[in-house]
Amino acid sequence: MTNLDSLLKSRDIILLTKVCIVKTMVLPVVMLWILACCSPWGREASDTTQQLKNNSRLLQRSKRSWVITTLDLEEEDPGPFPKFVGELFNNMSANMEIIYLIRGPGVDEYPEIGLFSIEDNVNGKIYVHRSVDREKTPSFKVYCDVAHRLTGHIVDRSLIINIRINDVNDHAPEFPEKEFNISVKEDHAAGQPVFQMLAVDLDQENTPNSQVLYFLVSQTPVLRESGFRIDRVSGEIRLSGCLDYETAPRFTLVIEARDCGNPPLSSTATVHVHVQDSNNHMPRFTQDHYNIQISEGRASQGVLRLGVQDGDSPSTAAWRVKFDIMNGNEEGHFDISTDPETNEGILSVIKPLDHETQPAWSLVVAVENEEPLFSCEGGQLQRPPQASASAIVSVRVTNANDPPAFHPGTFIVSEVDGAGPGTRLGMFNATDPDRTAGQIRYKLAYDPANWVSIDERSGVVITVKPVDRESPHVNDSIYVIIAHAIDDGVPPQTGTGTMLLFLSDVNDNAPMLRPSSQHLEICQSAGDKALLIEAEDSDLEPYSDPFTFRLDSTRGDTGDMWRLGENRGYSVELLMQRSLPLGDYSVPLLIGDKQGLSQKQTVHVRVCSCPDGFTCAEPLIARAGVLQGALAPLGVAFMALAAALLLLLRCRLVSGAERRGHLVPWDEGIQTLITWNQESRADPPQVVRLGYNITASTCLVLFCHRTCPLMRRVCRTARGPPLSVGKPSPPEATRESPRSNEDPGDIMAAPPPTSWDVPLQAHPTPSVPQAPMLRKALYLVNTLLDSTGNNNNKKEVGYCGGCLQSSSLAPNSLPHIVEIDS
């Protein structure tokens, strides 16, 4: 307390001295201000006064309220607790009774609540209550306040103090794992990094407590020629000397990480090093010389397998080999590959050998590994210049029957387009390369148009049909002919030769209209608008364009209606002389080629109305056809159903009448219909006339079976020539036609037309009225049955006994008159 009292007295003396100094400075300033107001140099004096004021402000110092001592703690302090940390002082205590308060992290906030407190709030003494881990919280920022002891009001601003935790070496360096597994190639160079160890120390950074050094504790196995070392600072593991997979395929290293604290702390980790085999053994052939025999004239796979030996690990790049034919394969007859399973070389013949040309071959085959070879000399890696072994393969070619060879294999001959039969085109020439040549015969192998023949012995090719350059089998005026030459060896061999027949063009085709120019349309109001007419010619230059176009003068009215415009060589303009009536016109043209060969062509032009001035209106019949096509299937189905029902009714009525012992004439029915021949000469009672076009299919429609005996009899007795159009009708035709509101009578007797387009009036039926709906329905059924095939028709003819075939009826023939005797 004595030191504190003396400190306070000295502070009071200093404050009094400052007050005296300030008072002595005020009087000169006031006098200067008065002089400035009364003298002519007042402005300059005023500036000087302001500067002095500023200087006086700069010289002032704020009054210090707080006095503290340094607050530091040792990490992991063992106590005893609570333990004094430091003391606070505020000079407000000279004027009033105060107390000290603290708050913030370590007091009433996380990370550690209740770590610090003021046990004596009057004297401001701070205490710590337990040990602190610096790695969790390296420092604490505490807020200090001073309050009136009675009222509790804060009487001064807060003070922030930083309580630092001093680090101690309480953490050893730690590796991320206790064991490591790494791989290194056998040919890894000495001195190069293999792996880097890294340990982490949680103590304060940049202090000895966190500085880590690395040491190699042990190596297993220990070899004199090879080993490992570690850099103490970086932790890099490096190789010393050379590795040998066959001697030591793996190593175990124990690495220590040690810090520089006092005392130092350390930890260890184990590194397992796996050595990967590399190529330090050169492959060797199992034998130095190989002898084989190969038949000539054919390619062969795997004619020889060459074995090798290698001391490196199987199925690795150091063990796998690749072969190469170093000498003797200049013409590329041989190839060699590697069997991936056995590591053997497979020799193959890829181009047939010829005994007559070269009966023996000597090949030098080399072998090496996929991976480069290395060696170790004096602890350092070496790459030897010679890394492959070689062997010799002697090949003897045995003689065999060779196929005939054409001389030349492909040749060109020329002939004029249109050359007739018997024209000699050329000759194939083939020889037998064998020393004992045999007989050769020739045979055509390819003649798509069947234009030529070949002499079996001489190979001479002559035409048997006229040749045509415009044939689809000719490509760019070339027609290909292929022939085979066959010898008489055992087995027979075949050679192939090709003749290219070039056909020079002649003017044998007149120009003609292109398909797009044969039918054209033009608006009636087109005026001078021209139609473009294009022509083409199958011949080549000079027998093609430019073409000449002329209107055919034999038609006198053509020139009055049409005229030709600009001729562009391959096309011409066609224009109307005047506005023509709507309709279709045929415009005859004479089109000639460059040499004057011409022919007549006709252009069909439709003059139409164009509502928009450019496009022809769709014909009315086309629009109606859309609706008709949509409703046709439904109407046809309805008519077919109605016809079938009527036929069944007729058959049943007739069958019932026949069972009653007499035949009911169709004109009378069952006395419920009008008799149509009452106004004219009556027919004989034994004759019934039907207006049917009897065919095999009609027999099927009319149910030629037991349920319809009358129809079966009709089929059996069908006869009578067709009536011709325009033949006078028999007297029965003068009978009255049925009224429109009456039943048309026996509609079964209505004849089916041969075509839907033939008017019904062209097929009069003398004894019965027309029934258009039924006739159309029967015709449809008849057509469908005919389309099922002729075999069924033949069966029906045999069953019905005399029905006429559909093919026997002329397209426009009238119905047959069929008479049946009672």
pLDDT in tens, 132-167: 888 888 889 899 999 998 888 988 888 888 888 888
Give the distance, in angstroms, between the CA of residue 255 and the centroid of all CA atoms in the same chain.
56
Banded model confidence at residue 760, pLDDT cuts 50, 70, 90:
very low
pLDDT value, residue 769:
39
User: What is the average pLDDT score of the chain?
Assistant: 75
Asked if residues 573 and 564 have their Cβ atoms less than 8 Å apart, the reply is yes
d(CA 502, CA 417): 9
Checking if the pLDDT of 793 tops 60, the result is: no
pLDDT value, residue 236:
94
Q: Is the pTM of this model over 0.85?
A: no
Q: Tell me, what amino acid is at 225?
A: E
Question: Closest Cα partner for 692 from 717, 662, 663?
Answer: 717
Greater model confidence, 479 or 402 = 479
**For 584-613, what is each residue's pLDDT tens digit?**
999 999 999 888 888 999 999 999 999 887
Banded model confidence at residue 54, pLDDT cuts 50, 70, 90:
very low
Q: Which residues partner with 585 through β-bridges?
A: 605
Asked if residues 215 and 232 have their Cβ atoms less than 8 Å apart, the reply is yes
Greater model confidence, 735 or 104 = 104
pLDDT value, residue 196:
94
Cα-trace Rg, the chain:
62
Among 47-56, 180-189, 430-439, 469-478, the least confident range: 47-56
pLDDT value, residue 454:
95
Helix axes of 42-59 and 2-38: crossing angle, nearest 10 degrees: 170
**For 621-664, what is each residue's pLDDT tens digit?**
444 344 444 445 566 667 777 777 776 666 555 445 444 444 44
Is the CA virtual torsion 460, 464, 466, 471 positive or negative?
negative
Count of helix runs (H) and strand runs (E) in the chain: 8, 43
Question: Closest Cα partner for 201 from 157, 264, 116?
Answer: 264
% residues pLDDT > 70 (the chain):
67
Banded model confidence at residue 442, pLDDT cuts 50, 70, 90:
very high
**For 302-316, what is each residue's pLDDT tens digit?**
999 999 999 888 999
Please report which helix (H) or strand (E) contains residue 645, including its range. Answer: helix 620-659
Asked if residues 635 and 641 have their Cβ atoms less than 8 Å apart, the reply is no
For the segment 203-213, the average pLDDT, to the nearest whole number, is: 89
pLDDT value, residue 28:
52
For the segment 100-113, the average pLDDT, to the nearest whole number, is: 89
Checking if the pLDDT of 174 tops 90, the result is: yes
* Phi/psi at 177 (5° precision): -140, 155
Among 11-25, 161-175, 420-434, 788-802, the least confident range: 788-802
Asked if residues 279 and 224 have their Cβ atoms less than 8 Å apart, the reply is no
pLDDT value, residue 63:
54
Banded model confidence at residue 766, pLDDT cuts 50, 70, 90:
very low
CATH H superfamily, domain 512-617: Cadherins (2.60.40.60)
Quick one: tokens of 135?
Answer: 């790695």
Among 174-183, 240-249, 644-653, the least confident range: 644-653
Residue 680 has what DSSP assignment? S
Banded model confidence at residue 429, pLDDT cuts 50, 70, 90:
very high
pLDDT value, residue 235:
94
Banded model confidence at residue 488, pLDDT cuts 50, 70, 90:
confident
Question: Closest Cα partner for 549 from 490, 598, 507, 502?
Answer: 598
What fold, for 66-166? Immunoglobulin-like (2.60.40)
Please report which helix (H) or strand (E) contains residue 512, including its range. Answer: strand 512-513
Report angle CA 429, 430, 436 to the nearest 5 degrees: 140
pLDDT value, residue 50:
52
pLDDT value, residue 106:
87
pLDDT value, residue 632:
53
pLDDT value, residue 787:
46
Question: Closest Cα partner for 123 from 86, 79, 159, 152?
Answer: 86
Question: Closest Cα partner for 146 from 97, 107, 87, 82?
Answer: 97
State the architecture of 284-398 in CATH terms.
Sandwich (2.60)
* Range(s) of the chain covered by CATH 2.60.40.60: 66-166, 179-276, 284-398, 405-504, 512-617
pLDDT value, residue 62:
42
Please tell me whether the peptide bond between 372 and the residue prior to it is cis, using omega within 30 degrees of 0. no
Asked if residues 608 and 522 have their Cβ atoms less than 8 Å apart, the reply is yes
pLDDT value, residue 64:
53
**For 501-530, what is each residue's pLDDT tens digit?**
998 877 888 899 999 999 999 998 888 889
pLDDT value, residue 362:
95
pLDDT value, residue 85:
86
pLDDT value, residue 423:
93
d(CA 501, CA 467): 10
Q: Tell me, what amino acid is at 662?
A: H
Q: Which CATH class is domain 179-276?
A: mainly beta
d(CA 426, CA 103): 120
CATH number for the segment(s) 405-504? 2.60.40.60
d(CA 481, CA 590): 39
Checking if the pLDDT of 57 tops 80, the result is: no
* Cα–Cα distances in angstroms (integers) from residue 447 to residues 419, 483, 484, 499, in the given order: 16, 9, 12, 10
pLDDT value, residue 693:
43
Residue with tokens 């062209």: 762
pLDDT value, residue 528:
83
| CB contact set of 631 (below 8 Å; sequence gap of 6+) | none
Question: Closest Cα partner for 321 from 299, 300, 338?
Answer: 338
Checking if the pLDDT of 323 tops 90, the result is: yes
For the segment 552-575, the average pLDDT, to the nearest whole number, is: 87
Asked if residues 146 and 96 have their Cβ atoms less than 8 Å apart, the reply is no
Checking if the pLDDT of 237 tops 90, the result is: yes
Checking if the pLDDT of 764 tops 50, the result is: no
Helix axes of 620-659 and 772-786: crossing angle, nearest 10 degrees: 90
3-state secondary structure of 14: helix
Greater model confidence, 14 or 706 = 14
Quick one: tokens of 196?
Answer: 């880097």
Checking if the pLDDT of 404 tops 60, the result is: yes
3-state secondary structure of 368: strand
pLDDT value, residue 508:
80
